[in-house]
Amino acid sequence: MIHVLLVDDDPFIRESLNVVLGLDTDIHITGTASNGTEALACLESGTTTDVVLMDIRMPECDGVEGTLLIKTRFPDIQVLMLTTFDDDEYIIQALQNGASGYLLKNVPPARIVQGIKTVHNGDMLIHPDIARKLAGLLRTPASPPVNEPFETYGLTRMELAVAEAISEGLSNKEIAAKLFLSEGTVKNYVTEILGKLNLRDRTQIAIFILKK
């Protein structure tokens, strides 16, 4: 059972998500909140939560600030953002603050369910179109070439390939298929990459690679 906290300033959206997601037997909605501050208060009150599904634009405390508050206090809880295509800067900041990815607000309910399960399993969720936009936004003319992590941080070529696949939003299963590895081997590579780059999670790996 995946315990989900819904965070959105629109009560209609909260109620709709509550009904739709509640139809999946693997998901249990444990609470709702209207902004990041309320979400943190819910978690601090002891509300059992595995994934926070959170709107990115909200009054008082938006999803970007809310992600930072939640990940600072509860680093093991996954945060999945709800956003629109014109939220580029918000998306970057949310990922940098520890969000595991995002969903577009116009996706069908089944995609939301899949997204929640994806981040709960420890994978990232980045739409390929946005991944390409993020790469352009994060890079600067002075940025070193992408092989710089290989030379400077001692990543093997396969570790670099795994890191780049993570930055494309691929899951461990997808990376395994792409690189002809087992999922267990991919997990081991991810652990090695985190250690060598001194990063917390795969979201930070993606941000690191996209900045190069």
| pLDDT tens readout for residues 27-39 | 999 999 999 999 9
Top CATH class, 2-125: alpha beta
Summarize pLDDT for 70-87 with one digit per residue, the tens: 999 999 999 999 887 667
φ, ψ for residue 29, nearest 5 deg: -80, 115
CATH no. of 140-210: 1.10.10.10
Which pair of tokens denotes residue 64?
């970007």
Residue 7 pairs in a beta bridge with 33, 54
**Per-residue model confidence as pLDDT tens digits over 86-95:** 677 788 788 8
Tell me what pLDDT residue 106 has.
81
pLDDT of residue 129: 62
Of the candidate ranges 59-63, 104-108, 125-129, 186-190, the one whose mean pLDDT is the lowest: 125-129
pLDDT, tens digit (0-9, with 9 covering 90-100), for 140-167: 444 444 555 566 778 888 888 899 888 8
What's the predicted TM-score (pTM) here? 0.71
**Structural domain boundaries in the chain:** 2-125, 140-210
